[in-house]
Structure 1
């Protein structure tokens, strides 16, 4: 039993996969081939000692002058000519220089190469051979090294299947070890995988964020009764973190890892679709809104009932009216056409009304606690929607100048505090036509839009009277 984990499983069953991982191919021949042939020294490709001829060229390149000095000393001793010198010129190459006074001691294997005023210059077979090697050592070295390297690769390639098998098993063991280490260290639980629809997470946590700061766990329940979770709440409350943690827990469960939760029931999921954050593609001339809509379109065209959809602030890249309309329509399409489990975080509090139309859409909000003029982010996901965004307070935390904060507060109060767009300033709205109401958000409405808007406005007005 693995200590420190939830739902531990005794390791007594015959895990054929683990037994297979424990059987490694014999890589000794490959290791010996690499150790004797491949050099780890800087500037060397083939190991010293692998090929005598290559070693000679390497030695010549590294210490050609040293060999000449040794040869000169050897010839002085052999001939008894103490003034004998081995010299080099670009015209005649290497030669042995003997003064005229010592010509009687020149051995028969010396071949005259040149006569000068004071000396004779000779060459020997050994010196000629070494001359050729010295003058062409680098060229021949590179040529031979390339040949030997190709031969070595050919020999190594015969062991490729065994090496790849071992690499695959080592990488898998490394992955499983990491999974086990995380599970024990961070109290992960073993997720219950199933072929049904329900995604249920008890005390779920974000695997990265919880390592950085004190983390508040949250429950998530997506099922037939709640296919779509609409999550409202102010910035900094933790909406995006909750979305990401659900996606990560689902992903971790599918790759065989334990997950950061007290308990998790995860259905087999074909794909995880996410639309989080905003980005422009300047190179393609793509705006933030167009990029957002392109991604949403891909999700709507490819998601299935077995998919998990994560959407964060859809529609914020355009006007409020357009964005709200698109967000509303997207939620309806997912519910009616796709049936995919969805978490939808938004600032459009008007979307809370969708819960009244569709039984499988549930409102949630990330709780905050008001203490005087301050608020405390509770980072806790609770049932029910909210119509408060606390935008001015968050702006204050961001460091906006005090006079800007004061003026924003003053303007907000003229609208009767934080109210939903379209029903703020209730008394004034009642005196305005629908055309005036909708003109704030875009082009004048079509007859069909006007009729639908009048119905919506009437409905919202009646709700305010209650």
Structure 2
């Protein structure tokens, strides 16, 4: 007997389903439970924390089994998707009570991390993207689609820019062709989402064109900014194919696909987003301590998602920035208008995700009513804003018609489930009232019939009753059988009474018994017809939802400006940056009551003050100062007011940061290697319009190596005309302050410190000039290092600084020489004997020397050193 013959019919059915979905966890519906079998059961038990049991299947060996109640699907599905798994839901296609033999079952829905629309899986304030990637020799194409909102866009650019964009907003799931599997894995080695390779034919250009034209009902691709035969068609077509194959629902809410031009936005790579702690702290945690936590005071989920997108794509167009700032200024000038707008915004549901639920057939009656009320509130915002700036809704008359239709059709507070009844108003369909009267008020009819018959026949004991055998009947005692009229039909004789039916009662019995069924069928049909018709208005509703989301973010900016007394920045085409009284928006929000943040100024430009070397001890605030400048510039480019007394910002095309120590040991990258990778990215990508914020370059290696690297980086940023960007360079290498004498566009600044005996006070103020020492031992003492260690460190420092010191064994400790073996101590490379050499170097005219003369001169200088 074969293994197949040993299986029960149920398990043969399961095996047939699983064979088609080997890469997915199959949730197999059995009565009130979803069951998983075999390896799926082991996975489900581990991920969901449910008990793993066994099921005996005929003569076959016991099969691992794990299941959960069907009503808990949303919660468990959320966990499976978070674990990066694909799930196939196998439902019962017929009522088990009516089925003959084995209940028919089949896959009704496939859910993956990139195609989920489940509220428990999604974060209300974040997009959930499905991505597809194709790499050429020098360029790449990336497409991203959020099925939960209908947002769909693509970009084509250099592989470097594609990688930066991808790493800044990694999708939940990534599609790519089998032939590019290894290339893409090496291209984005740190990607942690679900990787889904697809057969090569899905990325075929001809097939892609068919998918695009079929979905968007177009005959030409030009309207979608696509060229015939372009690589973009492959990627977009692959996304549409995958969604249709797995989502298995209507996609009417994906109404367009748009092209993103990266040169329209400020460049922010993954390092800058991380180092500025825009969405996560350096520790990886979200929430308090991040910029988004401070800025996200939006009133709607749509606004929260849009704010995140703005932070990822700051504007380069100064007119567009000014437009946003003008709205913020308007709200600040009219606080009552701002209050009224935010009051209405708080009543608006997530119109974008409700639209996706409508399109996919998942929306329920109560959500439809919320949907309609959301439209009404959108129209109210349009009324408030009709005389202000360029704000206007899209086709408000059509939107109002849709809202009124929902109001006319649905009960004020319908149930979530259609089967609970009273979804539509009686006036919506002529049969609703009569069926409800019968289904829900049948007892009133029977009571009226009983009273009428008692009075008509003069039988006060007459009763109208019901049982399962005979249904409804009229019972009359034998003492009154002589009064029974001729239209009564006897059905049963009892000891003391007779039971009758009448044609009228029989007809009403049929109505009562079928009314609820007919009512459910009618309301279900009406709901399907209504949602199908409502689907025709999806694009209208989406357009207005996006307008409202933008208004929400701008109102949020005004709220923040009012609350924190922020100012309007001036963004110009200059290449200077001047901030007066700037503060760090995140640190300031975390300060305890009564404690104030010390504001600081900054001025830099590409003509005279291009590079600012900032020295000073640890804990003095250098890193905070760098970050606050980066955040102020970022906020200005998204159209927000900023935390400063004034801010005049020459447009920045990219912000680069290298702040703090971090590593990536899981991928073989040490702290120093990570530091060098980030520094290399800056030096290879920055332009004259960039803003570079560097903190402690070269600290991850030995002193002389690190100092040499830091020195060379500063020189390169100063002398390379292509990368002569505005730069702030915080460092502990005091030797770098000497560069002010050599590099004309370099200026020294330091964090002010006051000494009181053995104590130091950090004033958190940036002032001109270089620091003369690091105060590292003072910081160690403040941190709680044992006093014995602190005192010994002072002795050693004293010895290293020039005076001999007696070691514990009685020998003298001599200050190391630069000529000797490299030491892990920080020494000045500007010794007195070197100054004459430096003076000579300054007078050399290299351009007038032959290569041989230059080598001879270099050898001569080397001997002098």
Aligned partner of 2:574 among 193, 196, 201: 196
Q: Equivalent of 1:276, from 639, 646, 659?
A: 659
Aligned 8 A contact 1:388 1:419 in 2: no
What residue ranges of structure 2 are gaps of 5+ in the alignment?
1-325, 334-385, 418-422, 803-811, 837-865
User: Structure 1 residue 247: deviation in Å?
Assistant: 1.5
Asked if structure 1 preserves the Cα contact closer than 8 Å seen for 2:800 and 2:816, the reply is no
Q: What SS does the corresponding residue of 1:359 show, helix, strand or coil?
A: coil
Cα offset for 1:265? 2.3
Asked if 1:31 corresponds to 2:410, the answer is no
State the Cα distance separating 1:225 from its structure 2 match. 1.8
Would you say the 8 A contact 1:349–1:386 is kept in 2? yes
**Aligned equivalents of 1:106, 1:388: Cα separation in 2:** 117
Distance 1:76 1:315 in 2: 98
TM-superposed CA distance for 1:363, in Å, is 2.3
Offset, 1:50: 5.8
Change (3 A) 1:78 1:175: same
Residues 260 and 112 of structure 1: CA distance in aligned 2, closer, same or farther (over 3 Å): same
Q: Could you tell me whether the CA contact under 8 Å between 2:611 and 2:746 is conserved in 1?
A: yes
| Contact 1:68–1:86 (CA under 8 A) maintained in structure 2 | no
Q: Among 681, 690, 711, which residue is 1:298 paired with? A: 681
Query: Partner of 2:816: helix, strand, or coil?
Result: helix
Q: Relative to structure 1, is the Cα distance of residues 358 and 51 closer, same or farther in structure 2, using a 3 angstrom cutoff?
A: same
Which piece of structure 1 moves more, 405-414 or 217-226? 405-414
Q: Which residue of 2 aligns with 1:70?
A: 444
Compared with structure 1, are the counterparts of its residues 75 and 236 closer, same or farther at alpha carbon in structure 2 (3 Å cutoff)?
same
Residue of structure 2 in register with 1:462 after alignment: 833
Q: Which residue of 2 aligns with 1:449?
A: none
- 8 Å contact from structure 2 (residues 660, 695) kept in 1: yes
Name the structure 1 match of 2:59: none
Q: What SS does the aligned partner of 1:437 have?
A: coil
TM-score calculated relative to the size of structure 1:
0.73
Q: Which residue, 582, 599, 614 being the options, matches 1:231?
A: 614
Match among 621, 626, 636 for residue 253 of structure 1: 636
Deviations 1:353-378 (A, max 9, x none): 44344322322211111122222221
Decide whether aligned partners of structure 1 residues 181 and 79 sit closer, same or farther in structure 2, where only a CA change above 3 A counts: closer
Post-superposition Cα deviations, 1:104-160, rounded to whole Å, max 9, x if no partner, equal 6666776777777775474611111211234x37xx62x544433343334444555
Question: Relative to 1, partners in 2 of residues 1:347 and 1:417: Cα closer, same or farther, differing over 3 Å?
Answer: farther
Alignment partner of 1:214 is 2:596: yes
Distance 2:491 2:709 in 1: 96
Give the C-alpha shift of residue 383 in structure 1: 1.7
Shift of 1:299: 2.9
For 1:58 and 1:68, locate their aligned partners in 2 and report how far apart those are by CA, in whole Å: 9
Q: Which residue of 1 aligns with 2:389?
A: 19
Deviations 1:169-212, CA, capped at 9 Å, x for gaps: 44444444444555566554443332221112233233444454
Structure-2 separation of matches of 1:221 and 1:285? 39
Q: Report SS of the residue matched to 2:451.
A: helix
- In structure 1, distance between residues paired with 2:795 and 2:714: 32
Task: Give, in whole Å, the separation in 2 of the partners of 1:311 and 1:229.
Answer: 10
Q: How high is the TM-score relative to the length of structure 2?
A: 0.42
Task: Give me the whole-angstrom Cα distance separating, in 2, the residues matched to 1:253 and 1:185.
Answer: 17
Aligned length: 420
Within 5 Å, give how 1:360-379 maps onto structure 2. 360-379=745-764
Seen in structure 2, the aligned counterparts of structure 1 residues 293 and 55 have a Cα distance that, compared at 3 Å, is farther
The answer (yes or no) to whether the contact 2:735–2:830 under 8 Å persists in 1 is no
RMSD over equivalenced CA pairs, Å:
4.2
1:96 is matched with which residue? 473
CA separation of 1:373 and 1:260: change in aligned 2, threshold 3 A: same
Post-superposition offset of 1:310:
1.9
The answer to which of 145-154 and 246-255 deviates more is: 145-154
Q: 1:346/1:111 Cα in 2 relative to 1: closer, same or farther (>3 Å)?
A: farther
1:72–1:84 CA contact under 8 A, matched in 2: no
Larger radius of gyration: 1
Question: 2:715 and 2:510 mapped to 1: Cα distance?
Answer: 92
SS at match of 1:314: coil
Higher relative contact order (CA 8 A, sep 6+): 1
Aligned position for 1:349: 734
Structure 2 SS opposite 1:415: helix
Q: Distance in 2 between matches of 1:407 and 1:237?
A: 22
Query: In the alignment, is residue 267 of structure 1 matched against residue 650 of structure 2?
Result: yes
Q: 1:289 to 1:127 in 2, by over 3 A?
A: farther
Q: 1:410 aligns with which of 784, 792, 802?
A: 792
The match for 2:466 is 87
Q: Helix, strand or coil for the counterpart of 2:687? A: coil
Q: Distance in 1 between matches of 2:486 and 2:618?
A: 100
Tell me the residue number matched to 2:24.
none
**Contiguous gaps of at least 5 residues in structure 1:** 10-15, 442-455
